[in-house]
Amino acid sequence: MGVELDRDWIAALPKAEVHLHLEGCIPGHVVFGSEPVPDPEIDNLADLLAHLDTLCGRIERADQLGEIARLVGQRASAAGALHVDLIVNPSHWPHWRDRLGAMVDALDGPLAEAEQDGGPTVGLCVSISRTHRAGQAEELVDRVLELAHPRIVGLSIDGNEAGGSHNERFVKAFDHARAAGLRRCAHAGESSGPEGVREAVEMLGAERIDHGIRCIGDPGLVADLARRGVPLDVCPTSNVVLGIVDDLASHPLEALRLAGVPVSLNTDDPLLYGIELVGEYERTAAAFGWGRAELGGVARTSIESCFASPDRRAALVSELDRFLAR
């Protein structure tokens, strides 16, 4: 990478991160204290989900959640991420899944302090699990709406789609969320094929697709996503680590971008993969020969597709425009 795209420029580039899991942002010291931190081998989605259950199962105290949230804001600031859509799936957190309000309150305080100190705005996207039954998904949406917590901005769905996405099970939950004004995103096209992406858009009404890269197998779907302007929040390193693609060079991200599909760059579960957002921009730019124009376009998509308030998004787009005009 040449001087034009040095690390400092990428770090200063105003951007949002819209695909980040709280479960993948747990530092070892918060979980294990002074104990040795295990270094598990994670090379597939099933192993990842099992490891997340192990980590989250050891988070029992509000101060642990607060420390995780504080560090999320700190890392975002260092990467130039001015807004974060942070996914949290209560099913991973046995000590909190029945105390969602207390969990959100524990996260909210440190996030609000960071915002007041000039850090990123952060919205929580509460996530249904693919293993949920229809009634469980609807109950979770009801709990979210009863809380009416301003920190919660959206509904997500994540988990392993292998063996079938079963999106029909979740239609009522997503319809309820939409009617109540919650934003909607959905994991699809990671462990499922193109049909999972199409169902997430057409059946669930997802505004944004988490991953979505396997849509590349259906040219008609790719053209439809481009026509509709449905953004994909892509996590290239995660896709390589979990064996979704062989390597960055063979990642369909660039083909999707050139086809007109809006794409953003994200880290998914950064502390498990040993990555950060600036590095994701660096590696992707190197793999596809991107310059400032391409990275600026990806950053613009990240801001325009984030679930911040309309005024906040407009302010961030203006900040990006000023930065790119220098």
Q: Which domain CATH number covers 76?
A: 3.20.20.140
The helix (run of H) or strand (run of E) holding residue 18 is: strand 15-21
- pLDDT for 160 equals 87
At which residue do the structure tokens 């029945």 appear?
Answer: 98
- pLDDT for 5 equals 77
Sign of CA dihedral 26, 285, 220, 85: positive
Listed residue (204, 202, 234, 203) closest to 216, CA to CA: 234
Return the ∠ at Cα 234 (arms to 210 and 316), rounded to 5°: 90
The helix (run of H) or strand (run of E) holding residue 234 is: strand 232-234
Structural domain total, the chain: 1
What range does the domain containing 306 cover? 3-325
Q: How would you write the pLDDT of the chain (326 residues) with one tens digit per residue? A: 444 578 999 999 999 999 999 999 999 889 888 676 677 778 888 888 888 888 999 999 999 999 999 999 999 999 999 999 999 999 999 999 999 999 999 999 999 999 999 999 999 999 999 999 999 999 999 999 999 999 999 999 999 887 776 899 999 999 999 999 999 999 999 989 999 999 999 999 999 999 999 999 999 999 999 999 999 999 999 999 999 999 999 999 999 999 999 999 999 999 999 999 999 999 999 999 999 999 999 999 999 999 999 999 999 999 999 999 99
In 78-169 the beta strands, taken as DSSP E runs, fall at 81-88, 121-129, 152-158
- Residue 92: CB partners within 8 Å, gap ≥ 6? 23, 52, 53, 56
- pLDDT for 43 equals 82
Q: Which residues pair with 187 in a beta bridge?
A: 210
- pLDDT for 48 equals 84
- pLDDT for 218 equals 98
Task: Give dist(CA 150, CA 24) in Å, integer.
Answer: 23
